[in-house]
Amino acid sequence: MDILGILIAILVLGILVTVHEFGHFLMAKISGIGVDVFSIGFGKELVSWKWGETKYRIALIPLGGYCKMRGDETKDRNPKDAKDAPAEKEETPVPVEKDPKAMYNRPPWARVLAVVGGSLFNYLFAILIFFSLFLFGYKDNVVTPKVTVAEMMEENVQSPAYAAGLRTGDWIVSVNGKQAESFSDLGQSVLLGAGDKLTMVYVRDGATNTADVTPILSKKTGAGYIGISPFELPIEPVIGGLVKNRPAADAGLKEDDRILAADGKPIATYAELTNFIYANPNKIVVFQIQRGDKTFDATLQLSSVVTTNNGVVTESGLMGIYPLVKYETMEKEIRANNIFHAFALGFMEANTSLVRTWEGLVVMIKGKIDVQKHMSGPLRIIQVTGAMATHASFVKFLQFMAMIAVALAFFNILPLPGLDGGHFLLNLFEWVTRIKPSEKVLTVIEYVGLFFIISLAAIVFINDIVNIIRDAVA
């Protein structure tokens, strides 16, 4: 991922967190809770201004921001014990404990609204993105639900899909009664369905058939697997990826380079290219390369790899390239009939993302996918978002941004200490029972939440590092 991708990813994450904090800000204002500071960004203050009771600031680090509500921390409610009390409090003429706009001097319903405002605005922001896409319309190239079926797995046993009767070229119509409009619809069901029977309706040679397939938990990916992949088009002799410190990369070849000939022999397919490479270990070869509108020769010495199969030792040539695999796609033009239809579609799409996020959490808890491999924090979100920004279409990028917004809304509202959901549960309890927690209880909950958040952040950060390193090595 290049620098541009990283910068775009940081900007996107910053926008989503700012939207979240603005939700807290607006709902606090509506609920009569004072807001001392609203900051876009963290760290050193670049510019600030005072408007009404609130100080607005823009800070150096663009990773989101924060909304400082009056009296929301222990040090605010006990200023005598807080040497590091915020400077903004000096400008507040009324002590926090007597200020009617202090958070814990407002009724529980007001605090509930202020707390849920962040997740609510993330969710509304996702609806807005989907709404805009449906309103203005877009064309989308989706991978068809036509599949390639692997016969055998690494354990030298038949794949679940092959054993159930599926074959390469089958077109999957539905999974458990849900229509499959693209391959991604299949992937969602399979990845999260380890151990659960999936009933697939498919078409082969014009006839409709049914197969029951049970995904297994893949040790490699940590998710469900049945042995299907998108249907591949004939592979052309185009470089789809390079291995570092191997002949092709060392010779300066690049992705999307087309290999026209090898030592004067025309190359028409990727299979012809691999056969040539395998048959010429350690040989110096002149390849004719097409890059854009230019054609040139590249001379490189192939390396080799030795393999043993049933006692037979074979030395094969090695170039260090991956094929450019293309899948069968179809173009879909998507546009709402009117503004009301667009809103309905946007709401349903956001709701679908929410349900999928919930299903992902459930299967993690049940152990049907590997938590360590699939849990993502800010580093991996930046990594994936940057890749989407620089390689995917603008529509796909916006859709991904909306899904991240939904995920932020969902995980922030979980009823856990330190998260918005934990505060929501506490204030909801007071609202329903009319039992107000003591200052001591609030302090304990606050410190437990702080410990939980710091611990979770450390775990997620370390996990991101481990996964990024593992992916790089792989």
Rounded to whole angstroms, the Cα distance separating 447 from 464 reads: 25
51-55 long-range Cβ contacts below 8 angstroms, 24+ apart: 53/101, 55/88
Q: What is the 3-state secondary structure (H, E, C) of 404-424?
A: HHHHHHHHHCCCCCCCHHHHH
Rounded to whole angstroms, the Cα distance separating 409 from 125 reads: 10
Please give the angle made by the CA atoms of 376, 358 and 444, to the nearest 5 degrees: 75
CB 348 within 8 A of CB 158: no
CB 64 within 8 A of CB 18: yes
Identify the H or E element spanning 351: helix 339-365
Identify the H or E element spanning 235: none
Cα atoms found within 13 Å of the Cα of residue 458, Cβ hemisphere only:
6
**Region label for 457, one of left (φ > 0), alpha (ψ between -120 and 50) or beta (otherwise):** alpha
CB 130 within 8 A of CB 345: yes
Please give the angle made by the CA atoms of 158, 307 and 244, to the nearest 5 degrees: 95
CB 24 within 8 A of CB 118: yes
Q: Mark whether 21 is an active-site residue.
A: yes
Rounded to whole angstroms, the Cα distance separating 151 from 158 reads: 6
Rounded to whole angstroms, the Cα distance separating 472 from 474 reads: 5
Closest to 446 in 3D by CA, of 75, 171, 196, 135? 75
CB 51 within 8 A of CB 29: no
> Is residue 252 classed exposed, middle or buried when 0-12, 13-18 and 19+ CB atoms within 10 A define those classes?
exposed
Residues 6+ apart with CB under 8 A from 199: 175, 176, 177, 210, 211, 212
- Residues with catalytic annotation? 21
